Structure 1
């Protein structure tokens, strides 16, 4: 059965919370007898109510002083509500969630508050559109070339982009929305699906680096099943899985992941190395096949202090001692390229060589 929730900053402590609409009609207002009482001067005593009309959920304004707005449109008459809609009463914003839920849990208490644990400046727009994007697979993949020390193309990285007319293309912005709805894994899987399809247009002797969301590591069994399915569909594609540095925190776990990947003939790369805490212990105890230096280490390396250049060179040498290839990403100038190659970095990536989506022949 579909159950409606409202989420936003409506508790006394302004904690981002969720409440179940566990009876109809459901009144929202300032008075304590409301289904959702909100102590805010801009909200009327009985401001608006959610009710059932013609088999669907609708909302209507109850003669409030400051009006009720749905997706920034003022409600004049009873209006149907959908999953992902943004409701504004006075200066309080609520997001509508319509989902499947065990209704027996809702009958036990008048209010069901669930803190989401997210700290947001405001309700994130685009949840409704993101649902459409995932359902309709409105994404695309751009492949960015990776070069070796001799400037020959040896690999590509699969980079996902949104393709919904009302949402940004940026994967970062899309994941920000997805993380508020628990849809980050679904979005990640969709990006990878689009990327793998795109590899059919490229030479099969290249390596193809792909990313996953950190949340996907939380359940290794599900991750392994997904990787096994990918290998079944793409038996000959050379793949390298990139795991974000911040997700590399358990040596035993990473060793297990590495062994499973190698059994599937998939390489392992640690991504964004240097962007946060440099996990040197993991490099020795659960060493990857490739270590990707974050752009923060590489940017302006040609004009960096001798101490910084020496530090990066030492990291390169240490990685080589462990049998790890080093990839520098974010290279944008000829001088950055020159220094990176001088200190022995194996693989090179950045706008200097080719932007995402550009076919490069060398």
Structure 2
């Protein structure tokens, strides 16, 4: 006797269309493992592609930086016609600025070595800076002037003070505007002392040194009379070096007064009267009327795109390039 249709077992169903958990349960274990392995390998391939792209990016950027710096070092403005060579001295004079000795010396050498350059003009707009950097530039200007017998003029815009005037003293003539700020022939060492404030708030300074003067000028420790005298003597020596440079550069044109080397500064009109400057005039006037070479060629080193990127990204660029070089082993 046959069974009714209601008692028959349900037909087999295709796992397609079944929700993922049910489908995984319906598939054989080998198929599940194969699917997981496939997904894992696909993710690994994507990860390797991104890692490779990142490495190539850092390497390309590092190569661009190296090439750009090399190219800039080789580049020097050139003109076959007689011209006035311009070098800008702008901003603080320090080792890591645009007015560093390294930058200015490279520009000076290029300008003096160019036979078409009739004269070198330093266009100055600087409050000064490091006496060491200024001294290096001064000495190099004097050396190159003697070697090439080429005149040097300083043209002051808004300011030529302290270390900037140190450099200007090497010029054959100094041109200013009537309202330019000139002078400040002096040396300073500044800082702060917090000892009184620390006592009021109950803070104890714990400074351990080997050498009785190792902590000299520490802002959180008292300034001893002996240390103050030593610092003052050192500043006086540097000041005398500055004075000697100005006297050598300006010669009999300098009309010394008790205030000349006191650190005061004057406007351009007063500077001419005191012999700190020679004439009134700007860059175009000097090139046209003094040098007699109206064409001006700028020898000042300029930041290129790669260097701006390097400054923008900072240490990240170097770190990324080093990591890429370290991890550049073949990818399998």
Fold-level similarity (TM above 0.5): no
Higher helix share goes to which structure?
2
TM-score (norm: length of structure 2): 0.34
Q: Could you say which structure has the greater relative contact order, defined with CA pairs below 8 angstroms and 6 or more residues apart? A: 2
Instruction: Judging by fraction of residues, say which structure has more strand.
Output: 1
